[in-house]
Amino acid sequence: MQLKTRKIGEVNVVDINGKITLGEGNIILRDTIRNLLSRGEKKILLNLGDVTYIDSSGIGELVSSFTTTTNQGGQLKLLNLTKKVQDLLQITKLLTVFEVFTNEGQAVSSFK
């Protein structure tokens, strides 16, 4: 898995490419989120458009990242879910937890 962070205004967009799975994928995502929060960056948008696979521990890491961000007064939202990831979030009822967008501009402007 590879991550690339870019900034649009006050929003940090994290482009994720590859698999979010137990092990390295989870650790990279967790460290990236915690690093952003430690720098006071509270508006985080995860772009999942290039995620090819996500396992149960990857789902757990998304939830953990969401909870950590929320507890620190931030917002974490999702962008460009693939059909597989969207189906998985729907089955686990997590689509009701995350704000999900298909348009980057709308996602960025949704942050307060």
Domains observed in the chain: 2-103 (3.30.750.24)
Contact 96, 66 (CB under 8 A): no
Provide the whole-model pTM: 0.96
Quick check: 2 pLDDT over 90?
yes
Q: Annotate 36-73 with b (16+ C-beta within 10 A) or e (fewer).
A: bbeeebbbbbbbbeebeebbeebbebbeebbeebeeee
List pLDDT tens digits, range 37-68.
999 999 999 999 999 999 999 999 999 999 99
What is the pLDDT confidence band of residue 24, given thresholds at 50, 70 and 90? confident
Question: Stretch 81-99: mean pLDDT, rounded?
Answer: 94
Which tokens belong to 84? 């597989």
Hunting for tokens 């757990």 — which residue is that? 60
Percent of the chain with pLDDT over 90: 96
| Residues facing residue 41 across a β-bridge | none
